[in-house]
Copies of this chain bind each other. A is one copy, B any other.
Amino acid sequence: MKIIVDAFGGDNAPLEILKGAAEAVAAYGHDIILTGDEAVLRQVAQENGISLDKMEIVHAPDVMPMEDHPKSILREHKDCSMAVALRLLAEGRGDAAVSAGSTGALLMGGTFIVKRIKGVSRPALAPIMPSDDQPVMLIDSGANADCRPEMLVQFAHMGHIYMSHMFPREGGPRVGLLNVGTEDTKGGELQLATFPLLKESGLNFIGNVEARDVPAGVVDVVVADGFSGNVLLKTIEGTVDMLMKNLKISFMSSLRTKIGAALVMPGLRQLKKKLSTSEYGGAVLLGVNKPVIKAHGNSKAKGICSAIRVAAEFAASGAVQQIEETLGKKKEEPAE
């Protein structure tokens, strides 16, 4: 398996990207293509004693700036490390691509360089979130702020296919529609129109799910428009951060609490690991022709290594082909 990695994406590039790629080579034996400034990459690798064994570098001197408009990946920054990674993927030079760079740019590049599967209205960005049970896929998490019911049904199919392969469960992944209540008649126009379509979709649709129940893991695929999906995702992040910060302050407040904290720490570390998003490699871009993984912008080596592992598993699963078979339009049909 050959994974293409944007070596200049994210807050900790290129050092942590290089380290993560080397970890993935050592752990899983994958081949890697790194995109980015070749001289810099060779120098950073040498200075930090990172082996470039099984890694090929494709030179790309430009970097996609986080603050630039996503569209610039197709124009001013069409030769940035992310664009080059996606172009190599489109050309079949590797099996999957990983980037920790700008989410908007990756979505834009995924859609227009790797290209949308014909028949899929809109690609969706689907993070894998930790829960009290198995990991949960949220689709969409912000790629499409305004959605039509048909788009949500496609998201449900794509999420169902991905999770069937990656986190199999007897009876198939449980699909839920994010809503303000569990009754069938809850929600706004979008949810009321989507509910009957999901009921007839043939998926393991278990009905509406409230945001309150998502962290407990009552469903495997949460279907949402990108706006409320984004609110869900970021509220979890913000709440966990706020709690952890306050916990730390509370633990450091006196000698007594410091001793107590030392005693409970191993369990807390395990809890932190359980809730850590870096285990699952970030978010998946679904609805494009090849596997693309968005690693967290603040990924360290471990997160990049996980993302590479997930990218390879995703490529091996055949999920993209299955999405194409399920939602794709044959060539003779008119394109949307």
Does A49 sit within 8 A of B, measured CB to CB? no
Taking a contact as CB atoms closer than 8 A, the residue among B146, B230, B239, B259 that contacts A236 in the complex is B239
B235 lies within 8 A of A211 (CB): yes
A260 lies within 8 A of B264 (CB): yes
Does A187 sit within 8 A of B, measured CB to CB? yes
Instruction: Tell me which residues from 50 to 74 in chain A have a Cβ below 8 Å from any Cβ of chain B.
Output: none
Does A326 sit within 8 A of B, measured CB to CB? no
Does A44 sit within 8 A of B, measured CB to CB? no
Known: A216-B242, A239-B240. A231 touches B178 (CB 8 A): yes
Instruction: Look across to chain B and name the residue whose beta carbon is closest to the beta carbon of A217.
Output: B242
Q: Least Cβ distance of A245 to chain B in Å? A: 7
* Cβ contacts under 8 Å, A230 to chain B: 180, 211
Does A271 sit within 8 A of B, measured CB to CB? yes
Interface segment, one of A24-32, A34-42, A79-87, A248-256: A248-256
* Cβ contacts under 8 Å, A142 to chain B: 180
B250 lies within 8 A of A238 (CB): no
Does A262 sit within 8 A of B, measured CB to CB? yes
Q: Mark A191-213, 1 if CB is under 8 A from B, else 0.
A: 10000000000000000001111
Q: Least Cβ distance of A228 to chain B in Å? A: 5
* Cβ contacts under 8 Å, A268 to chain B: 247, 250
Q: Which of A225, A233, A243 has the most CB of B within 10 A?
A: A243
A234 lies within 8 A of B261 (CB): no
Q: How far is the CA of A238 from the CA of B136 in the complex (A)?
A: 14
Q: How far is the CA of A264 from the CA of B247 in the complex (A)?
A: 10
Taking a contact as CB atoms closer than 8 A, the residue among B145, B191, B251 that contacts A188 in the complex is B145
* Cβ contacts under 8 Å, A214 to chain B: 235, 238
Taking a contact as CB atoms closer than 8 A, the residue among B146, B180, B256 that contacts A226 in the complex is B180
* Cβ contacts under 8 Å, A232 to chain B: 211, 231, 235
* Cβ contacts under 8 Å, A211 to chain B: 230-235, 238
Does A270 sit within 8 A of B, measured CB to CB? yes
Q: Least Cβ distance of A102 to chain B in Å? A: 12
* Cβ contacts under 8 Å, A243 to chain B: 239-240, 243, 275
Does A334 sit within 8 A of B, measured CB to CB? no
* Cβ contacts under 8 Å, A226 to chain B: 180, 188
* Cβ contacts under 8 Å, A254 to chain B: 267
A-B complex: 10 closest residue pairs judged by Cβ atoms: A260-B263, A145-B188, A250-B267, A235-B235, A260-B264, A212-B238, A211-B234, A212-B234, A215-B242, A239-B239
Q: Give 13 new A-B contacts, CB below 8 A, not counting A180-B226, A228-B228.
A: A188-B225, A212-B234, A215-B242, A228-B231, A231-B235, A235-B235, A235-B236, A239-B240, A250-B264, A250-B268, A259-B260, A260-B262, A260-B264
